[in-house]
Structure 1
Amino acid sequence: MVISARALNRATLARQLLLRREPLGAVEALRRVVALQAQQPASPYIALWNRLRDFDPAQLDEALAKRRIVKATLMRLTLHAVLAEDYQGFRAAMEPTLRSSRLGDTRFRASGLTAEDADALLADLLAHTRQPRTSAELGAWFEERLGRPLETGAQRMLRQYAPLWHAPTGGPWAFTHRLSYVTAARRPALGEPAAADEGLRTLILRYLAGFGPASTADMAQFALVQRPRVRAAVKELGDELEQLEGPGGTVLHDLPGAPRPDEDTPAPPRLMAMWDSVLLAHADRARVIPPAYRKHVTRVNGDVLPTLLVDGRVAGVWRATGDGIEAGAFHPLPPHVWQELAAEARSLLALLTARDPRAYARYDHWWAKGMPVAETRLLPGD
């Protein structure tokens, strides 16, 4: 079967609940979309607001507090919100990448510790974090355990490698920049290749459910794992996957029976969260981001700005100001699209006003440096 670029876009948007808002709770929604990038505390909330009808942020608060949804360093070595039940398999899949990148990082090695030293510390560290511990408390624990202070960078690498969840620390978005950590209730078997391989197969199946169809390069990019591991996992999955031909003859894989709407299916405008997963889940990001706009959205330091999604593809950026949502389009938009974006802005502002009216304000410096927009409008609330 051959699938066009536009149909590929619509398939991913359908699985990401971006063709229409669904009447789901936060937990079931995350089951459908698989993972939400969460290094910025507001982003999972805004991501779910984009996807759910009558989204109630208190549902996400509760799911995080009860650890039905957890936040941890996972795919692409970044913070993701995932279902607690998915964490064990996802973390097992990421073990080789996390071990080499975190324990091989120069900040960790400069401390004089080795990977074997980390292994020796791990059991005691996980016992110590059965109750949530702040970064400062962990720093004191490392100093007592090692008999000397441990450099901040090395501590960070150890925290990211260890199977730890971020513990909620308060409003307005359940997490603040005051970090706290707790031992993962569902921990993978670290250092076991068979567990890592099984976890990767699980991750690929979940990834395709949420972001497919996809190539092996897409799968490797989503997780940041080596392509030979992905190819081996796809081969092992065998008949559990079907093969498609994508744009340019690219070999794509998918789950049999997964949603693939007609390419002419309407895609309503959306005001996407910073680092929204749909912008980052593929090696070929042209599925959602026009190549000419990629550098405007993904900045030199890795910040991925909040975007306007128009007809299923990035068309500009937005930010919250004291007066409303400032929307900047990279190309002129027709009046009916601006009307639809204004309706989205009114709904978003209701969410932000109740929680944090200037969400993402710390990233305003990108606008101060100048944005290559063709048209800017202030979209006020009611």
Structure 2
Amino acid sequence: MTKKTMTSGAAGAAPVLGARDLNRATLGRQLLLRLAGMSVEGAVTHLLGLQAQNVKPPYHALAARLDGFAPEDLSALMAGRDAVRIVTMRSTIHTHTADDCVTLRPFVQPARDRELTNFRKGLAGVDLDRLAALARDLVEDEPRTMKQLREALCARWPQADPQALAVAARCKLPLVQVTPRGLWGRSGQVVLTTAEHWLGRPAEPAPAPETVVLRYLAAFGPASVKDMQTWAGLTRLREAFERLRPELLTFRDEHGVELFDLPDAPRPDPETPAPPRFLPEFDNLLLSHADRTRVVPPEYRGRSWQGNQAYRTLLVDGFLAGLWKLEEDALVVEPFGRLTREQRAEVTEEGERMLRALYPGTPYDIRFGTVVRD
């Protein structure tokens, strides 16, 4: 892979950040350059939540980032209602701290309102405010599955599309998945109630966009306006960046796109070593920028997805380098290209560390599968 470094532009122009500059800066913010001695709650807060379409990804995400992480640490937060699973950014389920749940969900509410326009035909004749009030009464009286909620709403609006009614309830209300769903080693179907009811606290107003911009840059910067809009699933964030411009540094990427960053945020040397990391499917590292080449080499674009399903991914030297999976008795690593002997040894060592953290006592072998070719 060609190594790029930060270069100066024309006199007075913003410095240019190459792919490796952006890679190392983002890995540093994402706690992936070195294992962090941070609490689970602190890490989930710093990272602005963890993708959680499935149960295990948040645990794998933290195991790749935190020194001494044990899955019980996150489970305890969720069981104690200090962390929850809720639909937020990009209309996908995230694990958030309780504090972020009641602020970030209002922040992305405009996107949830916009999502509803895709279902307007199926919601013809439905009073959405009445629907929200009825759905709230139902799930706060007793947590309900989406099927139960859909059936109750269909009884009130039999002419409406059942799926559209369910989507409307999810978009209008901050519905959280109650435990035991999401706990490590436990099973449980998706059962919903409101965040206010589950957390025992009222809703809060959406934070100022500038507040979230600063937090996004701390976790994902340097970044463009379009990058943050991709992460949040929102539009029209340019004005917030412009209001912050006097407080921020500006750069350009190799294509001339303007990037913003916090003045005191780490921007490591592009040659800083980046250990291998085993990331879960849907990790936010790979989803939170409009231009993903800071992590995904152009030749591997689209290799971590099939349809709407993401694969578990392997980073080598900080960049996407392959896939991995857990079989009954083995961790199977499938690199996209040839790994050197030293890289294979480092990948094996990191795989052993991950397995000790998440599956202690389970005898897994580590195998390198057939190299996945173009």
Secondary structure of residue in 2 paired with 1:128: helix
Task: Please say if residues 149 and 166 of structure 2, whose CA atoms lie closer than 8 Å, have aligned partners that are also in contact.
Answer: no
- Whether 1:184 aligns to 2:184 is no
Cα pair distance change 1:111/1:92, threshold 3 Å: closer
What residue number does 1:158 align with? Answer: 168
CA distance in structure 1 between the aligned counterparts of 2:187 and 2:212, rounded to whole angstroms: 28
Equivalent residue for 2:317, pick from 311, 322, 326? 311
Amino acid at match of 1:314: L
Contact 2:78 2:183 in 1 (8 A): no
Q: 3-state DSSP class of the match of 1:243?
A: strand
Correspondence for 2:260: 253
For 2:333 and 2:35, the matched residues in 1 are separated by: 21
Residue among 321, 324, 331 paired with 2:330: 324
Shift of 1:129: 2.3
* Whole-Å separation in 2 of the counterparts to 1:174 and 1:80: 19
CA distance, structure 1, for counterparts of residue 144 and residue 185 of structure 2 = 16
1:273-297 alpha-carbon deviations (Å, 9 max, x no partner) = 1111000110000010111112111
1:168 Cα offset (Å): 2.0
**Structure 1 residues 32-88: Cα deviation after superposition (integer angstroms, max 9, x where no partner):** 222211101110000000001111111101111222222111111111112221223
1:202 pairs, out of 211, 228, 235, with 211
Asked if the contact 1:322/1:357 (under 8 Å) is kept, the reply is: no
Q: Which residue of 1 aligns with 2:124?
A: 112
AA in 2 matched with 1:372: V
Opposite residue 313 of structure 1, the aligned amino acid is F
Contact 1:298 1:304 survives alignment (8 Å):
yes
Q: Give yes or no for contact 2:56–2:184 (8 Å, CA) kept in 1.
A: yes
| SS class of match (1:48) | helix
Using the alignment, how far apart are the partners of 1:220 and 1:137 within structure 2?
34
Q: Distance in 1 between matches of 2:78 and 2:321?
A: 32
Question: Is the 1:61–1:174 contact (alpha carbons within 8 Å) kept by the matching residues of 2?
Answer: no
Match of 1:69 in 2: 83
Quick one: distance in 2 between partners of 1:371 and 1:223?
35
- Checking the alignment, whether the CA contact within 8 Å between 1:21 and 1:50 is kept in structure 2 is yes
**Residues 337 and 81 (structure 1), Cα distance of their counterparts in 2 relative to 1, 3 Å cut:** same
Is the contact made by 2:123 and 2:165 (CA closer than 8 Å) also made in structure 1? no
8 Å Cα contact 1:91/1:188 also seen in 2: no
* Kept in 2: contact 1:269–1:311 (CA 8 A): yes
| Aligned equivalent of 1:124 | 134
Task: Quote the Cα distance in structure 2 between the aligned partners of 1:268 and 1:179.
Answer: 36
Q: Kindly report the root-mean-square deviation, in angstroms, between the aligned alpha carbons of the 2 structures.
A: 2.7
Distance 1:27 1:243 in 2: 31
- Tell me the distance in 1 between the aligned counterparts of 2:46 and 2:108: 21
**Gap change, CA 1:258 and 1:371, over 3 Å in 2:** same
- Are the structure 2 counterparts of residues 267 and 51 from structure 1 closer, same or farther at C-alpha, using a change threshold of 3 Å? same
**Residues 87, 94 of structure 2: 8 Å contact kept:** yes
Runs of 5+ consecutive residues of structure 1 not aligned to the other structure: 190-194, 359-366, 375-382
Does 2:148 correspond to 1:137?
yes
Task: State how far apart, in whole Å, the 2-side matches of 1:232 and 1:213 are.
Answer: 17
Aligned positions of 1:1-382 closer than 5 A: 1-2=14-15, 3-101=17-115, 103-106=116-119, 109-114=121-126, 117-130=127-140, 131-144=142-155, 146=156, 148=158, 151-161=161-171, 162-170=173-181, 173=184, 178-185=189-196, 198-226=207-235, 229-299=236-306, 301-351=307-357, 353=359, 372-373=372-373
**CA gap 1:94/1:356 in 2 versus in 1, 3 angstroms:** farther
Structure 2: distance between partners of 1:138 and 1:128: 7
Letter paired with 1:180: V
Distance 1:118 1:21, change over 3 A: same
Displacement of 1:17: 0.4
What CA deviation, in whole Å up to 9, does each residue of 1:246-279 have, x standing for no partner? Answer: 2232210112211111111110001111111000
Deviations 1:299-318 (A, max 9, x none): 2x222211110010001111
Partner of 1:137, secondary structure, is helix
1:199 Cα offset (Å): 4.3
Change (3 A) 1:259 1:140: same
- Matched letter for residue 278 of structure 1: L
In 2, the alpha carbon distance for the partners of 1:270 and 1:263 equals: 17
Q: 1:138 to 1:176 in 2, by over 3 A?
A: farther
Cα distance, 1:81–1:210 mapped onto 2, change above 3 Å: same
Whether the 8 Å contact between 1:296 and 1:372 is mirrored in structure 2 is: no
**CA separation in 1, counterparts of 2:321 and 2:85?**
30
CA distance in 2, matches of 1:174, 1:104: 38
Native 8 Å contact 2:63 2:358 kept in 1 = no
Contact 1:201 1:234 in 2 (8 A): yes
Amino acid corresponding to residue 308 of structure 1 in structure 2:
L
Residue aligning to 1:363: none
Check conservation: 2:181, 2:189, Cα contact below 8 A: no
Q: Cα–Cα, structure 1 residues 266 and 326, in superposed 2: closer, same or farther, change >3 Å?
A: same
TM-score by length of 1: 0.83
Deviation larger for 83-92 or 4-13: 83-92
